[in-house]
Amino acid sequence: MKVLTEGHYYELAHFEKDESGSSESIQFIEKVAKGEGQVQELVTINNGTTNEEVLTMLIDRMYYLQNKFPCRENAIVITKLEESLMWLEQRTKKRIKQNVEGKNLNHK
């Protein structure tokens, strides 16, 4: 893995190396705070995916692998990925309830 933009843009190496040196890139949504005061709106400067979407993809892949090659370790990975997704969803629900989703709280 190579970090192209810290926290937002990554280059992932292919597992099997070939002559082309192929890789995949993944762009996460990147936002910046705009405005004045304690609460600033977050504005998208680079569109991309989310942690939740990547976890959902990994969960799907692990279920596929578990169906082909069942083992305890795969089952544990699925559980932990689903738990991670649940906590991210809980965080979003809490932020929505607090009316701070999509906002930057300037804690000066």
Who's near 108: CB < 8 A, 6+ residues apart? 38
- Structural domain boundaries of the chain? 30-105
Who's near 93: CB < 8 A, 6+ residues apart? none
Give backbone dihedrals phi and psi of 16, rounded to 5 degrees, phi first: -95, 120
**Mean pLDDT computed over 22-29:** 95
Please report the pLDDT score of residue 99 as a whole number.
Answer: 82
Confidence (pTM) = 0.84
What is the C-alpha to C-alpha distance for residues 48 and 45, in angstroms, rounded to an integer?
10
Question: Coil, strand or helix: which one is 44?
Answer: strand
Query: Which pLDDT band holds residue 18 (cuts at 50, 70, 90)?
Result: confident
Give backbone dihedrals phi and psi of 85, rounded to 5 degrees, phi first: -60, -40
